[in-house]
Structure 1
Amino acid sequence: MSVQKERVHIVYLGHSHGQDPLLTTKLHVKLLSTVFSRQEEPEDAIVYSYRHGFSGFAAMLNSTQASTLASLEGVISVFRSKLLQLHTTRSWDFMGLSLSTQQRIPLQLDYGDDIVVGIFDTGVWPEPDAVKE
């Protein structure tokens, strides 16, 4: 009998509909309990509970548990989390924009007038060195 390797999976449940965040987390644990045999396992497996804006969670699951969750009513998607390399922490340099006052030209004063700034979610990682491929 082979043991399946557990990996972080993201379980997406859709919009949270303004539900109380504490109740949302309890729902996540209850849903996760359907793929574990012991009562304490779901709480140990959950890495993060997404409960503001949308509902979902990150949990340590093997492929069978992930497939079982994906087939449940109310689960929109389940996918394995990927570790991605951050490209830059200095966006203005990455885009070739100089912020030096000595090199500033009038056109640069208009930079950003029609730009929407977003947030790059670099994800969650339970233990940086413990779960690597």
Structure 2
Amino acid sequence: MFIDPHLASKHHLQLLSKVFASEEDVRQSMLYSYKHSFSGFSAKLNSSQATTLAKMEEVISVFRSKTLRLHTTRSWDFLGLTLSSSSSTSTAGTPLQLAYGEDIIVGIFDTGIWPESDSFRRGPG
């Protein structure tokens, strides 16, 4: 873990410079540098760049990001959690337990509020 956030971002750019031809391309590809809770970054890469980056000793993992549609109900579906198929109740008679997903980061997305939001649309009436 980097103590100085500036050094973490600099290191992320150095890693990306190994898969891009120019410094300008490196800077344009970087979307975000995570440098406070953990060290990592998001970047726009093609498949060969991602493969090259993944093979580097100092890189733990490379994965394609997923775009999910935000919603406020059925959070377990949104997170990809499923009901356990082993049994509908336990021997103690308790209800189904969730089969918890791995590698999930839970966060709050404040998408803001705006007049065009579905929340403000009035139905017939």
Normalised to the residue count of structure 1, the TM-score between the two structures is 0.54
Shift of 1:39: 2.0
Instruction: Pick from 58, 66, 74 the counterpart of residue 82 of structure 1.
Output: 66
Counterpart residue number, 1:120: 107
Which ranges in structure 2 are unaligned for 5 or more consecutive residues? 76-104, 110-125
For residues 67-104 of structure 1, the C-alpha deviation after alignment (integer angstroms, 9 at most, x for no partner) is: 10000011110001110122317x8xxxxxxxxxxxxx
Instruction: Pick from 47, 56, 81 the counterpart of residue 63 of structure 1.
Output: 47
Counterpart residue number, 1:106: none
Runs of 4+ in 1 over 4 A off after TM superposition: none
User: 1:27 and 1:19 mapped to 2: Cα distance?
Assistant: 12
Normalised to the residue count of structure 2, the TM-score between the two structures is 0.58
Amino acid at match of 1:120: G
User: 1:86 and 1:60 mapped to 2: Cα distance?
Assistant: 22
Higher relative contact order (CA 8 A, sep 6+): 1
Instruction: Pick from 36, 39, 47 the counterpart of residue 20 of structure 2.
Output: 36
Higher strand share: 1
Amino acid at match of 2:107: F
Percentage of pairs with the same residue: 54
Which ranges in structure 1 are unaligned for 5 or more consecutive residues? 1-15, 92-117, 123-133
